[in-house]
């Protein structure tokens, strides 16, 4: 599997965005953060969704 196709864990997204994992969970609860999906008990992010969300944040600012 290509590295770009791999899903990201909350820890991966946290490191990429420079925010605590708890912030990601709060954003998910408030429905303001990047789109995520449950895979069994685990939360996973598609890198493209995280990049798209980040671009949207730039447009709002």
Tens digit of pLDDT for each residue in 14-42? 999 999 999 999 999 999 999 999 999 99
Query: Looking at the domain that runs over 7-60, which CATH code has it been given?
Result: 1.10.10
**Domains of the chain, residue spans:** 7-60
Please tell me the distance from the alpha carbon of residue 35 to that of residue 54, in angstroms, as a whole number. Answer: 11
Q: Taking the model in full, what pTM does it have?
A: 0.85
Residue 59 has pLDDT above 80, yes or no: no
Residue among 19, 20, 8 nearest 50 (CA): 8
Instruction: Work out the pLDDT band at 61, boundaries 50, 70, 90.
Output: low
Exposed/middle/buried for residue 55 (C-beta within 10 Å: 0-12, 13-18, 19+)? exposed
Q: Which residues on neighbouring strands pair with residue 8, listed in sequence order? A: 45
């Amino acid at each position: 599997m290509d590295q770009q196709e791999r899903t990201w864990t909350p820890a991966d997204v946290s490191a990429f965005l420079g925010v605590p994992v708890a912030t990601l969970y709060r954003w998910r609860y408030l429905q303001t953060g990047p789109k995520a999906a449950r895979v069994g008990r685990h939360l996973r992010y598609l890198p493209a969704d995280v990049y798209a969300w980040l671009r949207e944040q730039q447009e709002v600012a």
